[in-house]
Chain A
Amino acid sequence: MSAVTGKAWVFGDEINSDVMAPGIYFKESVEVMARHCLEAVDPDFAPNVQPGDIVVAGRAFGVGSAREQAALSFAHMKVGAILAKSYARIFYRNMLNFGVPALIFPEADEINAKDEVTVDAIAGTVENKTTGKSYSVSPIPEHLMEMISMGGLMPYLKKKIDAGELKTGAMPR
């Protein structure tokens, strides 16, 4: 996982999982769900976000439901990183499990929509190229670094299972 540079999309406080992944589209594929991600708060986001773009948010980002589609939609759109003042617990765990760095970023107010931002989750640095300001942030927790650098929980489990390092049940015939 290397540094990523993209355009900032800025959201406020307590953006909840239901607006990230509306229940009425729950039965649909991730492609369809992602198209409706955050449409209630910013209808321009889903149609225009580009791979590598950075999502910036306020407090309790992802508050609410356990629905993995809230996090999976960002991963599907190949969002480069998330910078939020704080996270809801399940959403934070889901984000990291899908291999998207979610960093705690108290200075979120200093980033404006469309600013060009570089995030290095391993080094723990954020650079706002538009304003010229640089920040240091707490990197990803160390015990999760291996999983995230491998792209998330599934590649991590695959490797551990293939290496014989995990005990689990057998797939029934």
Chain B
Amino acid sequence: MGETLIQKIMARASGNKSVTPGEIVTCDVDLAMILDSGGPRKIWPRLEQLGVGVYDNEKVVVVADHFVPAADPQSAAILKLTRDFVKKFDIKHFYDMEGICHVLMAENGHLQPGMFCCGGDSHSTMGGAFGCYMAGFGAIEMSGVVVTGNIWSVVPETIKVDWSGSFGDGVAAKDVMLFLARELGMENAFKVVEYGGPTIRDMSMMERMVLTNMAAELGAETGLIAPDEITLEAIRAGGTEPAADALEWRSDDDATFCAEHSFDASTLAPQVAAPHKPSNSAPAEDYEKDQIHVDQAYIGACVGAKLTDLHMVASVLKGRQVKSGTRLMVAPSSKKIMTEAAADGTLATITEAGGLILPSGCGACAGLGAGIIADGEVCISSTNRNFQGRMGSNESFVYLGSPYTVAAAAVAGHIVDPRELLS
């Protein structure tokens, strides 16, 4: 009987010939990514308590991205502790204010199909776009991983989600995920979502990474996309040669899935999720009658400020101005993306339209840094979560949309279907 991709990955990582969904296995961890937020500051005291070091200083990767750049003495102290940890434990891969962790793993060739990776952040699922297992864990569990180099897992069942057809203008991967959050709900815990079909094959890696990133919003263990030539190109661009067996990491044709869904991308409209959860979504045009005034339009986070996202924003803003009474803030996902967007004129288009460029980092998305919002304010955001209080005040309101939709709201001053500005 055929096996799913996740079965193959967990069989290899656990040293078994094959594994079946529901089985409990202990997997060796090929990469353990920890962050300033829940990494060294939580893990170091536990290592002291246990009197041990890290299991492998090549495989434990540290990223400072949540509290960057330091805006108060507490953040500064956390970042200093993070840097001290890297020195003390001789960590070989450290990214300090280079961008958001999930994007950095992709940019720097850390991910290969078939790997088993753990990250100390729920959107670690983003790495699954490379055909590897990468999932989020809490700091307590990452403490265990950093000590032992392994972790228990229940082999997940797989939900297969296939897309065919081409997106219309002004529709992007983000709309797929806001649609899927409504269709599949947020309660798919301990299951894997594997995306496939012609639409996915035509997507760039940056767009594919939106799908696996927001598998977290479906509540899934992780998202997976089987590798192809586009994946291999992205690995090479990160300075790593793809493994010889890279393209063999895929679900068998006769694998068993716990559910299978097929959707048509050509009929998908831009989507917006209303407060306070990503699954609370509807087509963007449904919001127009309410003329929902937007105080802030935010382009940021791992999921929503990659180069492709900034290009979407610029395509809407070109020759237009941000509406008076609305502010547009853009925090590119990484330093590399910032540099590329500066070189190709994208940042100039944004600033000429009245947008403000912020440093790369998790920032306002998680209510941690520059750009948080006040009581009664409304923000439309290209980020991935809109839980109550997520971006600051408990009494604020966050809507989620694609970069097109966020940029369109910045221009209109209220939530609109972005296609009106692209035609």
| Residues in chain A within 8 A of chain B (CB atoms) | 14, 16-19, 22-24, 26-28, 39-41, 59-60, 63-68, 71-72, 86-94, 97-98, 141, 143-144, 152-154, 157-158, 161, 166-172
Contact = CB atoms under 8 A, between A and B. Distances in A.
B189 A60 contact: yes
Closest 4 CB pairs between A and B?
Answer: A23-B367, A169-B53, A68-B138, A94-B138
B98 interface: no
B394 interface: yes
B47 interface: yes
Interface stretch (B168-176, B232-240, B335-343, B384-392): B384-392
Nearest to B24: A143
Determine which residue in A66, A87, A98, A158 has the highest number of CB atoms from chain B within 10 A of its CB, and name it: A66
Given A24-B367, A71-B138, A66 B219 contact: no
A98 B367 CA distance: 25
13 contacts: A18-B387, A23-B389, A65-B366, A66-B119, A89-B189, A90-B122, A90-B136, A90-B138, A153-B140, A161-B50, A168-B52, A169-B52, A172-B53
Nearest to A39: B394
A169 B143 contact: no
B89 A64 contact: no
A65 B141 CA distance: 14
Nearest to A40: B394
A30 B122 CA distance: 20
Interface in B72-92: 72, 74-75, 78, 88-90
Interface residues of B, number: 61
A163 to B, nearest CB: 13
Interface stretch (B10-18, B126-134, B144-152): B144-152
Nearest to B156: A89
A154 B142 CA distance: 11
A18 B368 CA distance: 12
Given A68-B140, A89-B190, A90-B137, A27 B48 contact: no
Contacts of B72: 27
B186 A153 contact: no
Interface string B390-416: 101010000000000000000000000
Nearest to A91: B138
A64 B122 contact: yes
Contact of B120 (A66, A169, A171): A66
Nearest to B90: A172
Given A169-B55, A171-B51, A93 B187 contact: no
Nearest to B37: A26
Contacts of A63: 186-187, 219
Nearest to A169: B53
Contacts of B121: 65-66
Contacts of B193: none
Contact of A23 (B42, B138, B366): B366
Contact of A66 (B90, B136, B147): B136
A125 B114 CA distance: 41
Contact of A19 (B137, B187, B389): B389
